[in-house]
Structure 1
Amino acid sequence: MQKLSCVLLVDDDPITNFLNQRLLDELGLAEKLLVALNGKEAIALIEENCASSSPADCPALVLLDVNMPVMNGFDFLDAYEQLEAAQQHPSVIIMLTTSLHPRDVQRVEALNIAGFLNKPLTKEKVEGILQAHFSQQLPH
């Protein structure tokens, strides 16, 4: 499997970030793993990492929590769409949530994102993301 250049985890829960980081590290998923505690930090990381001329520094995959303080997942997506095209790179954005409230599900389905998954992130869910969006599989 070819590693993704960069993955960005965005979640306000440090334990969730730690567990997701461990999972992705164990799977050998990415060359570089960035972590943000809210949407505002995530936008800053994207601006900082995508400022270089190398698109490899931009996140290929963004795993985004919905409910966060400071800037939630929906507000992040609004801010993300305001970024320059080069900073948006061809990023695959997957929203992760514990909320399966019909209103939230309906709102997420209307967004311009690659997918919506219920937490927790698992090896099987990561494998599904890789197959669907990167035509790759995890080594067994």
Structure 2
Amino acid sequence: MNSPVKIGCIIDDDNTYVNLMSTLIKMKKLSEKLLVFNNGQEAIDYFEDTLQRGAKDELPQVIFLDLNMPIMNGWQFLEQFDSESCSGCSLYVVSSSINPSDIDRAKRYPTVTDYITKPMEITTLEEVFASAS
């Protein structure tokens, strides 16, 4: 990999998963900065504020989105997420659900790059960041 992704993002309310992913991303030096949001609403608020300030360079290049969260779940986030304003973002749905209808539904969103089942393998994590850098 040439250089790490400037900004990565995890949207997930599972602290254990977030801590593990954060540790792996830092250990492997895959991202210079990592944003973490506990639900979709926190992420939407950050994206809207960042765009209003004209700070597109503060938007993530890689987003990992969980589906089951309080306040605003992943499906609600996908409905509100504006991929045009976040051009250059690769959004991955990362869920423990292996339900084919969830996978198909997620892949119908044009903003979704791929669906990854938890737990994510380290090689998959590295491939995601390599393709975004």
Question: TM-score interval w.r.t. the shorter chain?
Answer: 0.7 to 0.9
Mark the CA change 1:21 to 1:50 in structure 2 (over 3 Å): closer, same or farther: farther
Normalising by the residue count of structure 2, what TM-score does the alignment of the two structures yield?
0.87
Identity rate, percent: 27
Aligned equivalent of 1:59: 60
Measured on the aligned residues, the alpha-carbon RMSD in Å equals 1.8
Match in the other structure for 1:114:
113
Which secondary structure state, in structure 2, belongs to the residue aligned with residue 59 of structure 1? coil
* Larger relative contact order (CA 8 Å, sep ≥ 6): 2
Q: Structure 1 residues 102 and 34, CA, compared in 2 at 3 Å: closer, same or farther?
A: same
Over residues 19-59 of structure 1, what are the superposed CA-to-partner deviations in whole Å (9 max), with x where a residue is unaligned? 11111111111121110011001111222344444432111
1:128 aligned to 2:127? Answer: yes
Residue correspondences, number: 131
Contact 1:58 1:89 in 2 (8 A): no
Q: Distance in 1 between matches of 2:51 and 2:24?
A: 25
Deviations 1:75-124 (A, max 9, x none): 1011113x7x43x2321000001001122122112121101101123321
Report 1:65-76 matches (<5 A).
Answer: 65-76=66-77
Q: Secondary structure at the match of 1:121?
A: coil
Code of the aligned partner of 1:125:
T
- The CA distance in 2 between the partners of 1:69 and 1:30, in whole Å, is 27
Q: Is the 8 A contact 2:65 2:74 kept in 1?
A: yes
Shift of the alpha carbon at 1:70?
Answer: 1.0
User: Secondary structure of the equivalent of 2:109?
Assistant: coil
What 5-or-longer segments of structure 2 have no aligned partner?
A: none
* Contact 1:6/1:34 (8 A) holds in 2: yes
* TM-score for both structures, normalised by structure 1: 0.83
Who is 2:101 aligned against? 103
Contact 1:36–1:42 at 8 Å: present in 2 too? yes
Is the Cα contact below 8 Å between 2:62 and 2:129 reproduced in 1?
Answer: no
Evaluate the alpha carbon distance shift between residue 31 and residue 99 of structure 1 in structure 2; reply closer, same or farther with a 3 A threshold.
Answer: same
The alpha-carbon deviation at position 15 of structure 1 amounts to: 1.2
